[in-house]
Amino acid sequence: MTDTLLFLRQLISRPKQISAIAPSSRFLARAMTAALSPASGRVVEFGPGTGVLTRAILAAGVKPQNLTLFEFNPDFVSHLRSSFPGVTVHNTGAQTAATHVPKGVSAVISGLPLLSMPFEVREAIVRAAFDVLTPDGIYVQFTYGGKPAVSPDQMRALGLTVEQTAHVLFNLPPARVHTFRRA
Ligand SMILES: C[S@@+](CC[C@H](N)C(=O)[O-])C[C@H]1O[C@@H](n2cnc3c(N)ncnc32)[C@H](O)[C@@H]1O
């Protein structure tokens, strides 16, 4: 089955978990992974779906053995395991990342539909990312709206700053990329 067909089937059966009308474009994937290089060390991805961002992370030079994915959907997990040999894929929520991954991750790349999640889940996910990141590690998240997916109050509570690092028009719908860091 092609990536697009698999995505559409899962969109029909689990619309709330997917919360997107199409996989990310290669332009968005490139913008999400612009800070990565072969020197990035360990990287984590949240909500990889069919693996559009996963492919871009590996293309940026991250070694498969340095990449760990967290994906809820078992059908996507099977597809990811066969498409990306050497990459570790956990079939569990991103909020559990710190129980599976040791600290020292340089970047968490998130394709999660964070804005469509309840406030508490959103906060637990961002907290889990910063629990595994190095002190200068980055959390990269896209949104389809104008504002970052983490509210100013949540950022204050978590001690974070944010910067818009891209606005990608060639995506359905157009998306903004935000990079979060410790303040
Ligand atoms: C919008 S799709 C993004 C897919 C892909 N990253 C992309 O950009 O095309 C969101 C993905 O997040 C997954 N997901 C939703 N909630 C999750 C959670 N709490 N932990 C891990 N994955 C989750 C869904 O199953 C889905 O594959």
pLDDT number for residue 93: 97
Residue-wise pLDDT for 8-53, tens only, equals 887 888 887 777 777 899 999 999 999 999 999 999 999 999 999 9
User: Could you read off the pLDDT of 40-87 as tens digits, one per residue?
Assistant: 999 999 999 999 999 999 999 999 999 999 999 999 999 999 999 999
Could you give the C-alpha distances from 67 to 84, 97, 108, in angstroms and in order? Answer: 10, 13, 10
Overall domain count for the chain: 1
**Residue 44, in any domain of the structure:** yes
Give the CATH number, domain containing residue 52.
3.40.50.150
Bridge partners (DSSP) of residue 175 are: 168
Q: Which residue has the higher pLDDT, 145 or 26?
A: 26
Query: Any residues with CB less than 8 A from the CB of 131 and at least 6 apart, and which?
Result: 97, 98, 103
Q: What is the pTM of this model?
A: 0.95
Domain containing 102: what range? 3-14+24-182
In a domain, 105, yes or no: yes
Asked whether residue 19 is domain-assigned, the answer is no
* Positive or negative torsion for Cα 154, 160, 25, 43: negative
Question: Which of 2-11, 93-102, 151-160, 173-182 has the weakest average pLDDT?
Answer: 2-11
Q: pLDDT, tens digit, for every residue of 154-168?
A: 999 999 999 999 999
Q: Is residue 121 part of a domain?
A: yes
Provide residues with CB under 6 Å of ligand 1: 17-20, 23-24, 46-49, 52-53, 70-73, 76, 93-94, 111-113
Q: Which residues contact 43 (CB under 8 A, 6 or more apart)?
A: 36, 57, 62, 66, 67, 68, 105, 106, 107, 108, 109
Q: SS3 of 149, please?
A: coil
Q: Report the separation in Å between the CA atom of 47 and the middle of ligand 1, taken as the mean of its atom positions.
A: 3
| Residue whose entry in the numeric block shows the structure tokens 């410790």 | 182
pLDDT of residue 1: 66
Ligand 1 centroid to 36 CA: how many Å? Answer: 20
